[in-house]
Amino acid sequence: MFAGSLLVLLGCATASSDSRRIPDQAQSTDTQCSEEDRQRARSITSSMVATVDPENVRVRVGKGLGEERLVGARVVFRAPAGWNAGVLVQAARCSQAAFLVRGMAAAPIDHLWEPGRWIDVEPTDAGTPPQTVTLVLKTVTGDAAQQLLDRVRDFAGQH
């Protein structure tokens, strides 16, 4: 049933601070999604989640070494056979775009998205255990990162 696992890093950093661009980003992404992408997005469920952990980064503050700040959540997904980073990234982006364009949740993973806020979804190799794929989802503020972590834990039933 599952060939490996996917690791998703949900974080905070570079999402658009210009809320006027959000509809454009969502609309542009939505037009690039195939029906297969949308079907894959609908198949991402909480039963695929193996673990959820907070994700922090060190932020430089003045001349000091900096401090740790919450940027989101690290989520390990068990993945169906044939899924890789590209498949998961595209499914997540399509899910988010459809959620923002249509204004309603249509897939279980839509619980992760927030109305009016674009979350960047990018693959990364940092900290990727064997048999997993790491994605980074970024938002703008610490409050948004905590809300994102809470939504991921709720989605996974780990709150």
Query: Which of the residue ranges 32-46, 95-109, 126-140 would you say has the lowest mean pLDDT?
Result: 126-140
Predicted TM-score (pTM) above 0.85? no
d(CA 92, CA 33): 11
Comparing 143 with 136, which gets the higher pLDDT?
143
What percent of the chain has a predicted confidence (pLDDT) above 90? 20
Helical (H) or strand (E) element with 123? strand 120-124
Name the residue among 97, 77, 95, 88 with its Cα closest to residue 152: 77
Q: In this structure, what DSSP letter does residue 105 have? A: -
Distance (Å, rounded) from C-alpha 93 to C-alpha 118?
Answer: 10
DSSP 29-92: HHHT--HHHHHHHHH--GGGEEEEEEEEEEE--TTS--EEEEEEEEEEEEEETT--HHHHHHHH
Write the pLDDT tens digit of every residue in 8-61. Answer: 544 444 444 445 577 788 999 999 999 999 999 999 988 888 778 888 888 877
* Cβ-based neighbour number of residue 103 at 10 Å: 9
pLDDT score at 53 = 83
